[in-house]
Amino acid sequence: MTLALRPLLLALSLSVAAVASAADTQAVAPPVTRPVDAEGWRTLTLRDLDAAHALLREHTPIPYDTENMAYRRWLDDGLAEARSRAAGVTDAAGHFYAISAYINGFRDPHIDTSPVGELPPARWPGFIVAARGERAVVVHRDAADPDAPPLGATIERCDEQPLMALAEARVFPFVLNPALPADRRSAITRLFLDRGIPFAPPPLRCSLRSGDAVRDFALRWRPLPTPDTTFWTAYADAGNGPAASWGLSEPAPGVFWIGVPSFNPGEETAPKLQALVDAVTSRGDALRTAKAIVIDTRGNGGGSSSWADRLAEAVFTAPVLARAQARLPKRRTAVDWRSSPGNLAYWRNWAPELQRQLKPSDWAQFEAMLRGLERAAKRQPPIWRSGPRKVDPAGGWSALRPRDQPSPFPARVYMLSNGSCVSACLDFADRVLMVPGVRLVGSSTSGDGPYMEVRDEALPSGLVRLTFPQKVYRGMTRAALENYEADIAYDGAWDDASVRAWTLGLVEAGR
């Protein structure tokens, strides 16, 4: 997007994996001793839930947000529900998933939890299932178990319920988001992985169709095979598959493949992003006059919109992108930032690194944001707005894609998604999918909530980290969780070889 659409910090839509505040990290107390009995786990769970509620109340715009009332209601109602659920906690898995259910209830990809250290070992029933359209197909099995369902068989029901209904009850309250297509696909696979959630026991009996025969069978849950590498690879491929591989390659004559699994500006990924942008820039004319360009965003969960813009310009050129944006309606948008001592400390500690990364104009905007937060800290509500007071209604941006218009250059361009594309990756999509002729293939993108710009802190136990946002958009161009629908959807195995072969087949067929 342009600065007219993103009024501040274009370069800083940081992903959940972005750098944590040094001040926050130093302030975290050493982890407490793990409880030795159920009562200790329940006490610890209540303590962490209250701390999560306090962090969201004290450092996010949620308590003052009158436009997204579901967040305000869940802040307190969800806590009450979670505290009630805590009565069933007896161990580390119950502790984590009681907290996860509270946070997942916001249904926002920028409000999240992650465990510190390992949860209890996972179990499986001797097979892995993948969603294939409306079917749930067995795609991997324990070869040593003669009773394991055969490959290609379909699971029709479990515990006398359709699988999606079972996922609604036993998966989505704790992980994933039913509003996102990729998460609904992943939930079917997750049903057949037991993580010890005491509030959502694994299924016990299922109905299996193999050919014309249908039979019921009991699931035998067991530890994962040792070593478990093959299992986890098959499990990932059954869901959304692996992330893209970094770099620019030419897997077929005249077909250039750009792998960009992240826009995260961290120490490990920034050099890879720079090398990728340099490689694409140096061969830009050759790419644009070739047979096809595939921009592989599998696994890309966002990062810095500045890097997304650099790659977009390297592929398409700034004039082409500018013409595509010029045909779009002007939108009045704004951002409300929450001021708090913790948020200010976060940005002050992050500032030296940002000053090294940002262009002078973006750095000036960052300094203006800091001054705004400092002023807002002294008033009620402690909110600083960047942008106009009056904004346009949110949503509808994905419907503005150009249709049946010629590409600006000879190469056909495909953006490949496995459904992970969110945050700065969606900002990338906002630019490149508005260029005539660009096709989105594979899966629909993910979708953003109105809350962004995250940081994280450890909860008092030291066993869970909470990621939470510091700003909320007003007049979002894409409404909450609005995504881009795939022009050509993929319904096969998501392992790398299968996805590449399918995509190259599209190119060869000229689709």
Whole-number Å distance between alpha carbons of 179 and 199: 22
Whether residues 129 and 111 share a domain: the answer is: no
- Model confidence at 181: pLDDT above 90: no
Residue 187 is assigned to a structural domain of this protein: yes
Q: What is the pLDDT of residue 32?
A: 65
pLDDT > 90 in the chain, percent: 80
Whether residues 90 and 164 share a domain: the answer is: no
Whether residues 83 and 127 share a domain: the answer is: no
Whether residues 152 and 103 share a domain: the answer is: no
Among 115, 134, 161, where does a domain finish?
A: 115
Instruction: Tell me what the mean pLDDT of segment 73-91 comes to.
Output: 97
Q: How many distinct structural domains can be found in the chain?
A: 2
- For residues 476 and 333, the answer to whether their CB atoms sit within 8 Å is yes
DSSP category for residue 91: S
Whether residues 74 and 139 share a domain: the answer is: no
When pLDDT is cut at 50, 70 and 90, the band that residue 212 belongs to is: confident
Among 189, 223, 257, where does a domain finish?
A: 223
Secondary structure class of 428 (helix, strand, coil): helix
Instruction: Tell me what the mean pLDDT of segment 153-162 comes to.
Output: 95
Using alpha carbons, select from 383, 460, 394, 453 the residue that is nearest to residue 63. 383
Residues 6+ apart with CB under 8 A from 402: 324, 327, 434, 435, 436
- Model confidence at 13: pLDDT above 60: no
Among 115, 134, 166, where does a domain finish?
A: 115
Please give the distance of CA 197 from its chain centroid, rounded to a whole number: 22
Whether residues 127 and 107 share a domain: the answer is: no
Residue holding tokens 């450890």? Answer: 458
Using alpha carbons, select from 397, 435, 444, 446 the residue that is nearest to residue 416. 444
| Residue range 450-479, pLDDT digits in tens | 999 999 999 999 999 999 999 999 999 999
Q: What is the pLDDT of residue 353?
A: 86
Whether residues 93 and 146 share a domain: the answer is: no
Residue 242 is assigned to a structural domain of this protein: no
DSSP category for residue 30: P
Whether residues 68 and 158 share a domain: the answer is: no
- Model confidence at 261: pLDDT above 90: yes
Instruction: Tell me what the mean pLDDT of segment 103-111 comes to.
Output: 94
Whether residues 163 and 215 share a domain: the answer is: yes
| Strand pairing report for 412-417 and 292-296 | parallel
Secondary structure class of 466 (helix, strand, coil): strand
Q: What is the pLDDT of residue 8?
A: 36
Instruction: Tell me what the mean pLDDT of segment 111-116 comes to.
Output: 95
Residue holding tokens 């050099």? Answer: 271
Please name the amino acid found at residue 213. Answer: A
Residue 432 is assigned to a structural domain of this protein: no
- For residues 256 and 287, the answer to whether their CB atoms sit within 8 Å is yes
| Residue range 334-379, pLDDT digits in tens | 999 999 999 999 999 989 988 887 888 889 999 999 999 999 999 9
Q: What is the CATH number of the domain that holds 130?
A: 2.30.42.10
State the SS3 of 274-319: HHHHHHHHHCHHHHHCCCEEEEECCCCCCECHHHHHHHHHHHHCHH
- For residues 77 and 56, the answer to whether their CB atoms sit within 8 Å is no
- Model confidence at 404: pLDDT above 90: no
When pLDDT is cut at 50, 70 and 90, the band that residue 10 belongs to is: very low
| Residue range 437-457, pLDDT digits in tens | 999 999 999 999 999 999 999
- Model confidence at 214: pLDDT above 60: yes
Q: What is the pLDDT of residue 450?
A: 94
Residue 494 is assigned to a structural domain of this protein: no
Secondary structure class of 421 (helix, strand, coil): coil
Containing domain of residue 180, as a range?
A: 123-223
Residue 3 is assigned to a structural domain of this protein: no
Q: What is the pLDDT of residue 75?
A: 98
- Model confidence at 5: pLDDT above 50: no
Whether residues 106 and 127 share a domain: the answer is: no
Query: Within a 13 Å sphere around the CA of 501, how many CA atoms are in the beta-carbon half?
Result: 8
First to last CA, the chain: 28
- Model confidence at 265: pLDDT above 90: no
- For residues 374 and 32, the answer to whether their CB atoms sit within 8 Å is no
Whether residues 105 and 164 share a domain: the answer is: no
Q: Which two tokens stand for residue 8?
A: 């501040």
The DSSP annotation for 353-420 comes to: HHHHHS-HHHHHHHHHHHHHHHHHTTSSS-EEEES-SS-PPP--GGGG---S---SSSSEEEEEE-S-
Residue 202 is assigned to a structural domain of this protein: yes
| Strand pairing report for 439-442 and 412-417 | parallel
Q: What is the pLDDT of residue 30?
A: 53
When pLDDT is cut at 50, 70 and 90, the band that residue 154 belongs to is: very high
Residue 179 is assigned to a structural domain of this protein: yes
Whether residues 130 and 215 share a domain: the answer is: yes
Does 6 or 175 have the greater pLDDT score?
175
Whole-number Å distance between alpha carbons of 39 and 45: 10
Does 410 or 354 have the greater pLDDT score?
410
Please count the helices (runs of H) and the strands (runs of E) in the chain: 15, 19
Residue 29 is assigned to a structural domain of this protein: yes
When pLDDT is cut at 50, 70 and 90, the band that residue 267 belongs to is: confident
Does 5 or 346 have the greater pLDDT score?
346
Q: What is the pLDDT of residue 134?
A: 84
Question: How many other C-beta atoms are found inside a 10 Å radius of the C-beta of residue 118?
Answer: 7
| Residue range 303-324, pLDDT digits in tens | 888 899 999 999 999 999 999 9
Instruction: Tell me what the mean pLDDT of segment 275-281 comes to.
Output: 97
Q: What is the pLDDT of residue 78?
A: 98
| Residue range 16-62, pLDDT digits in tens | 333 333 333 334 445 567 899 999 999 999 999 999 999 999 999 99
Mean per-residue pLDDT over the chain, rounded: 90
72-76, 142-146, 346-350 — which one is most confidently predicted on average? 72-76
Query: Within a 13 Å sphere around the CA of 430, how many CA atoms are in the beta-carbon half?
Result: 26
